[in-house]
Amino acid sequence: MKISKIQGKYFSSFSFAVVGSGPAGFFTSKHLLKKIENVSIDFYDKLPHPFGLVRNGVAPDHQDVKNVISDFSQILEHKNVKFMGNVEVGKDITLEELNRNYSAIILAHGADGENTLNILNEDKFGCFSARNFVNWYNGHILHSNDSKINSLDFSQIKDVVIIGNGNVAIDVARLLAKDPKDIKNLDIPEHVLDKLKHSNIKNIHIVARRGLMQAAFTIKEVRELSKIPGVNLITFKDEIENSLNPNSIEELEALLPADKRQINRKIEFVKGFLNIDKHDKKSILSIPEARRNVFFRFLLAPSQIHLDTINEKVEAISFNKTRLVGKTFSQTVENIPNQLETIRTPLIFKSIGYKSVNVFPQLNFDEKEKILKNENGVVYNNQNELLRNIFTAGWVKIGAKGIIDTTLRDSYDTAASIFKAINRGSIEPVSTDYESIFSRLEEKKVKVFDYEDWKKIDAYEIEEGKMRNKIREKVTDINKLFSLVNN
């Protein structure tokens, strides 16, 4: 079929199935809507609502980041766009069924897995992934009523250890450090607020196995943490000094000017924290009295989690002290023999990275990088052949890294590959057989949540929030969602 192109726009009835309704799916779809006249786009999401990590991952006190939902909602309002929530592709409907019904498929289902420490007792009560905690405080429909986290008694916890120092780790620390009255009007669920109101947490330890030069957090996140009233930010002299070894300084000097400025600002900002000598009692006693202390620790690798032998709950964690070794630009860390440090704590959060999982066995999944093998967003099958009409975007394409702006920039790459495929004729207009799709989902007894259903949920949450003087009160019970949309 011939596709006409006038003034940079394609004119034909292309149809796209987008698997996942987070930022990657929306940003890529926005390019398609702008460039292709008459295009139809259907979002499939295993959750009953749209917006992915913007709803479930962005912290409640980062409402400015959530403003992108307004842009995404405009896309869902488009007459040629459909939302089909509560539909798990690969389970409720197959990739092959979608392939028959659409010009192309865009896989943008993110990163549902997470990395592990692989140390003793990691699976015991008191050791959680940061993702569990983020899902809980964000009101994730499948995880906010997590019985284990809900059973935590924050009034009995003095020390918390966060392993990893990326922005998610800083988010967790910030939510724990803030006075609950300063976040009560946001979209944090009431049952979470009730827990945090009784918190007696005094010390938050953010621990990384590498040095300050390699720290994953951004200065923006740490600066925000520094502005919380009644909070000390503390580092230890030997860890900062050992972090900034000659090879690390050489790496900093060799960076491009913009990158060098950015990392240098971060280093100088952290060097401005209260810097104490942990071996000097006077130095320790010099820490001002505060509601919370946040310790930024470096060059410590987790080695073992210790349990209370009576109830098998976490009571402490030991770390191997590490040092940076290797040549400039290829430094790694190694454990220093016989040098351990133990922090007593009943609560550990692992913030060591999300990862995508292999959802579709017919596609080539890179087990090392934890992404779909792709070339500029064009996916390979498991025979290592590039597919003509299956694309990928976001974290399942590039790995779980960066911020929303990173995903936005990546979407241009995937969209460009789609337009190239159109130009060479490997994507053709296809009319979607909705009768067949909905018949299949009905057979599987799947209740499809459409955009009108989401608007009902959205209106209900906003109204519930108004009654509590909040932005919104999220529905965290899946049965409540079903009752709302069935009325």
DSSP character at residue 412? H
Q: Does one domain contain both 339 and 216? A: yes
Domain interval for residue 409: 4-112+355-449
Q: pLDDT value at position 2?
A: 38
Q: Does one domain contain both 75 and 178? A: no
Lookup: tokens for 425: 């004729």
Q: How far apart are CA 117 and CA 314, in angstroms?
A: 15
What residues pair up with 58 in beta bridges, in sequence order?
none
Q: pLDDT value at position 10?
A: 45
Cα separation of the two ends of the chain: 45
Look at residues 332, 352, 372 and tell me which one is the last residue of a structural domain: 352
Q: Does one domain contain both 435 and 379? A: yes
Three-state SS for 228? coil
Q: Does one domain contain both 154 and 292? A: yes
317: enclosing H helix or E strand: strand 313-325
Q: Does one domain contain both 209 and 289? A: yes
Look at residues 327, 352, 377 and tell me which one is the last residue of a structural domain: 352
Look at residues 290, 319, 352 and tell me which one is the last residue of a structural domain: 352
| Position 404 in a domain | yes
Q: pLDDT value at position 56?
A: 95
31: enclosing H helix or E strand: helix 23-35
Domain containing residue 386: CATH number: 3.40.50.720
Cβ partners under 8 Å of residue 97, min gap 6:
436, 437, 440
Q: Are 137 and 60 in contact (CB under 8 A)?
A: yes
If one counts the domains in the chain, the total is 2
What residues pair up with 319 in beta bridges, in sequence order?
302, 341
Please choose, from the candidates 18, 170, 51, the residue with its C-alpha nearest in 3D space to the C-alpha of residue 474.
Answer: 51
| Position 262 in a domain | yes
CA atoms within 13 A on the CB side of 19: 28
| Position 464 in a domain | no
CA atoms within 13 A on the CB side of 28: 37
The pLDDT profile of the chain, 487 residues, written as one tens digit per residue, is 334 444 454 446 899 999 999 999 999 999 999 999 889 999 999 999 999 999 999 999 999 999 999 999 999 999 999 999 999 999 999 999 999 999 999 999 999 999 999 999 999 999 999 999 999 999 999 988 888 999 999 999 999 999 999 999 999 999 999 999 999 999 999 999 999 999 999 999 999 999 999 999 999 999 999 999 999 999 999 999 999 999 999 999 999 999 999 999 999 999 999 999 988 888 888 889 999 999 999 999 999 999 998 889 999 999 999 999 999 889 999 999 999 999 999 999 999 999 999 999 999 999 999 999 999 999 999 999 999 999 999 999 999 988 899 999 999 999 999 999 999 999 999 999 999 999 999 999 999 999 999 999 999 999 999 999 999 999 999 999 999 998 7
Q: pLDDT value at position 486?
A: 87
Domain containing residue 136: CATH number: 3.50.50.60
Q: pLDDT value at position 12?
A: 60
Q: Does one domain contain both 103 and 127? A: no
| Position 172 in a domain | yes
The values of phi and psi at residue 347, to 5°, are: -140, 120
What residues pair up with 106 in beta bridges, in sequence order?
18, 391
Q: pLDDT value at position 487?
A: 74
Q: Does one domain contain both 106 and 122? A: no
| Position 485 in a domain | no
How distant, in Å, are the alpha carbons of 117, 216, 401, 411 from that of 267?
27, 12, 21, 31
Q: pLDDT value at position 8?
A: 54
Q: pLDDT value at position 161?
A: 98
Please choose, from the candidates 226, 117, 224, the residue with its C-alpha nearest in 3D space to the C-alpha of residue 164.
Answer: 117
Q: Does one domain contain both 304 and 427? A: no
